[in-house]
Amino acid sequence: MDLAPPPPYRSADYIVRFATQDWELAGAATLRHAVFCVEQGLFAHHDRDEIDATAIPIVALSMIGGQPDEVIGTVRIHSSEAGVWRGSRLAVAASHRTIGTIGPALIRLAVCTAHARGCHRFLAHVQARNELLFRRMKWRGIDSLDLHGSPHVLMQADLAHYPPLADGVAGLRAEVRRAA
């Protein structure tokens, strides 16, 4: 009898927080490259741009034994003008996309921490295929456009659904609920 190998281990525990350690920043860069350059082919060599110099990187980290283990998601936020913040480069590792809570947790921390920093308007260019997720999270579409050869929607978060959260370094901790 042939036995299938067990599925790879995926932690049910994760934390979303500002990236502050070198390994977190490196993991975010590696994940962005894997998603935007290799998988989606949006960029030839790297996806870094001038926004990276001022953006706040946020990471989702899998936890093992209560300790951060691996970067499984990332997004960056920056203030483009007084009171206006933007999120970009949202990426979740392919191995964790089916969980369904990593992307929303990254979005939530991004908007809530910007809100605590004086954000009055939070915008993002969202890949069209992800528009429904953002609509479910109380965002509205403003405009459709093509970025990097891919259809996108300029969207705005409804800040009434994102209470200010001052400590992005502490972040949000959550467990993924598994079906019984």
Nearest-angstrom CA–CA distance, 151 and 139: 17
Full 3-state SS string of the chain: CCCCCCCCCCCCEEEEEECCCHHHHHHHHHHHHHHHHHHCCCCCCCCCCHHHHCCEEEEEEEEECCEEEEEEEEEEEEEEECCEEEEEEEEECHHHHHHCCHHHHHHHHHHHHHHHCCCCEEEEEEEHHHHHHHHHCCEEEEEEEEECCEEEEEEEECHHHCCCCCCCCCCEEEECCCCC
pLDDT band at residue 175, thresholds of 50, 70 and 90?
low
pLDDT attached to residue 176: 61
pTM above threshold 0.85: yes
**In the chain, % of residues over pLDDT 70:** 91
Question: Does some domain include residue 136?
Answer: yes
- Check which CATH number belongs to the domain holding 133 and give it: 3.40.630.30
- Please check the confidence at residue 8 and state whether its pLDDT lies above 70: no
pLDDT, tens digit (0-9, with 9 covering 90-100), for 63-115: 888 888 899 999 999 998 999 999 999 999 998 887 778 999 999 999 999 99
Rounded average pLDDT over 43-47: 86
pLDDT attached to residue 158: 98
Q: Which domain holds residue 102?
A: 13-175
Question: Does some domain include residue 4?
Answer: no
pLDDT attached to residue 69: 85
Rounded average pLDDT over 143-149: 90
Where is average pLDDT lowest: 5-9, 11-15, 35-39?
5-9
The percent helix, strand, coil of the chain (3-state, each to 5) is 30, 35, 30
Where is average pLDDT lowest: 11-15, 32-36, 101-105, 162-166?
11-15
Domain count for the chain? 1
Question: Does some domain include residue 3?
Answer: no
Question: Does some domain include residue 8?
Answer: no
pLDDT attached to residue 9: 58
pLDDT band at residue 172, thresholds of 50, 70 and 90?
confident
3-state SS assignment for residue 86:
strand
> HSE (CB half, 13 Å, CA atoms) of 65?
1
pLDDT band at residue 180, thresholds of 50, 70 and 90?
very low
